[in-house]
Structure 1
């Protein structure tokens, strides 16, 4: 079968915040108490029990840091890995000058997207962490709220502002106050923002659970404004691990577990029943695990819903709500593509994870082609582009004939790579 590979819309990339962000966007009265950039040496980084221990060392390699209250936050090479070989993608510190400029410069990011067959990109934060935990943990909540708003203003007006819609804004909320969160959702939705990042498991952050009803005003505001609730692996500040002395490779392999736990939590919470137009998106969790998770959830609902506590709150099989309201994404998951009918051809989206160590840059076209080879043209379009447009309500043409740039043979030998 011969078809065309559409330009990709990536629903999970990342931005390294520029050093001027808070000096430029935080109101002047808060700047002395807000985050400040610093270049200083870094000590040896230890990984103990699933958490990193980081220290400054005047004699260590130069590293760019953020200093905020009692937090010292360094940028590490594995989160700005594009341009390095696999053996160089370490946990060593890094400065912005050593990074590929597309990590933090929006004009350079657009150039890298062009090199990578990507039309549009949704970027998660780095220093604020994946859902703004940095500000939720701050002592001075007045300054923290100003920082959340400043980050969102920078995201909308500077990072995305001159991109012609190619850089898609993803905003934060003040996690510690649901009423303030609702106000921030509405403030950003009024200027066209259609995605907010949230914790996959808020109880890991010491916040109320999604079962408590605490978050219902937030979910209602997202539903009413068409704002997608985007949850990245690690957005609960706790990654799955086995033995406390296991190497980071164990954590990296098990990273999808948080997405699976979170999705199951939502499916049995009643949230998707109460808010039937709410959209959830799971980032970087891949999708090969989804078919069995749905099968098991439906079996539990069918056999155990009375004693399982969901007889009156979940009136239909849980998979009903998944197919109606939840999106997953992938970038290396052949098993998930092989199980696409169960995953949902309308539920799967694509990502490049730029500039992290897992990123497919600059070979995303080849990676995508390898995954979709043999699929029909409509499905290829949905996975690489169409489902993201629908999920984020993007102002892009959903017609299959639009934005396709090159004939590619999806049945060719994968070693005959047309994208190089």
Structure 2
């Protein structure tokens, strides 16, 4: 059942709030409206497939059975919190602000949010769904998405900042697209976290620590484009329903466990990047762990420091593993609240934490109640950094 239309307490704040993880419910004509006639029938679009409404690519490949809008916020502002009801929603049922810039800005005003960092849905959180089609179509779909969101950013008057998708299957194309998107004003990239687990066009792709990727990291460092890893940013890391919960649990409870375990999957990405030694070469490169929470970070960093000594004696880097998090990483949180949140922020590093809502996804914060109270006993200066200052600096957002 849907929660009734929600009362919206005042969320105005003394702080400039930048929401570091939100999503765009892609309009049904996002690709078809911009595609050349020669491929218009092949780009992502909503149509009937095997008797069911679906997001389809290349005419007959489903990349979204049911054409779900990936929004839990209803037109009247109510929020759906029951999994089976959420899965029945259609584009026409959900808040227009999920997909339309004008209405999104209104929601942001209601919630006291100055700016949002924005991630995709349909092509995958890391663009992984593009792997279903040939290379030319893959590239066209990524470029059209980036063109569309760059238009939205330009129209937002400095408030809506989508992260660019990359043609992650080809490092040269990825560099070119990063440069193109930076020229359009986009402020960061979003990439598949596990390209090495994908074989495309008869070839395997090296993992992100391999020197194969050094030219991309050099470009990102030079252009000040943060590299964002959203949870579920590969076919192997995303698991909403299946493998984490035991079979005797109901589907909604299994989904809850799977969603929580996705947060820890980003720890694997962070750990591999640190142990790769990559950051002794690209000292100014910035990475963001998106929608992962922050509570796991202190434990993971302590464990990496310990394991390096106990398991890999003789291996060394310029710094301790935990120190690389301080210099090169950020993590986003939303559900950790109160004094627990304040303690975790300080353990992770006040300069390394971003605040997010995950709007309009089902486990996100909407509305944001008692925003400053969620920060526990953080000082005024600490709250200012966490709620917006860190994101403004990282993504070069004038405030």
Shorter-chain TM-score tier: 0.7 to 0.9
**Residues 91 and 4 of structure 1: is their aligned pair in 2 closer, same or farther, counting only changes over 3 Å?**
closer
1:211 and 2:213 aligned: no
TM-score, reference length from structure 1: 0.82
Paired with 2:357 and 2:58, the residues of 1 have a C-alpha distance of 30
1:379 to 377, 382, 398: 382
Per-residue deviation, 1:384: 0.3
Residues 12-44 of structure 1: CA distance to partner in whole angstroms, max 9, x if unpaired?
000011111112222232213222222x4xxxx
Q: Give the CA deviation at 1:56.
A: 4.9
For residues 140 and 205 of structure 1, do their structure 2 counterparts lie closer, same or farther at Cα, with a shift above 3 Å needed?
closer
2 CA distance for matches of 1:349 and 1:117?
16
Matches within 5 A, 1:222-371: 222-237=220-235, 238-239=237-238, 241-242=243-244, 245=247, 247-306=254-313, 310-311=315-316, 314-334=317-337, 335-362=340-367, 364-366=368-370, 368-371=371-374
Is the counterpart of residue 394 in structure 1 residue 397 in structure 2?
yes
For the 8 Å contact 1:160–1:166, the answer to whether it is kept is yes
Q: Tell me what 1:66 maps to.
A: 56
Give yes or no for contact 1:81–1:89 (8 Å, CA) kept in 2. Answer: no
TM-fit CA distance, 1:315: 2.5
Aligned CA-pair RMSD = 2.2
Which deviations, in whole Å up to 9, do the C-alpha atoms of 1:151-204 show, x marking residues without a partner?
Answer: 1000101x2221101001311110111000000001111222211101233334
Deviating more after overlay: 255-264 vs 242-251: 242-251
Equivalence map 1:93-242=2 (5 Å): 93-135=88-130, 137-157=131-151, 159-206=152-199, 207-237=205-235, 238-239=237-238, 241-242=243-244
Aligned equivalents of 1:190, 1:95: Cα separation in 2: 35
CA displacement at 1:269 relative to structure 2 = 0.8
Aligned residues between the structures: 367
TM-score of the aligned structures, taking structure 2 as reference length? 0.86
Equivalent in 50, 57, 72 of residue 81 of structure 1: 72
Q: Alpha carbons of 1:133 and 1:69: their partners in 2 closer, same or farther (altered >3 Å)?
A: farther
Output the CA distance in 2 between the equivalents of 1:218 and 1:150.
Answer: 21
State which drifts further: 106-115 or 18-27: 18-27
Q: Report the counterpart of residue 417 of structure 1 in structure 2.
A: none
Q: 1:316 to 1:302 in 2, by over 3 A?
A: farther
What's the CA shift string for 1:43-75, capped at 9, x where partnerless?
Answer: xxxxxxxxxxxx8545xxxx5633434422236
**Residue matched to 1:19:** 28
The Cα shift of 1:244 comes to: 6.6
Match of residue 408 from structure 1: none
Segments of structure 1 that go 5 or more residues without pairing to the other structure are 41-54, 397-420
**Change in CA separation of 1:205 and 1:282 when aligned onto 2, cut-off 3 Å:** farther
Identify if the C-alpha distance between structure 1 residues 75 and 198 changes in structure 2 by more than 3 Å, giving closer, same or farther: farther
Secondary structure of the residue aligned to 2:33 is: helix
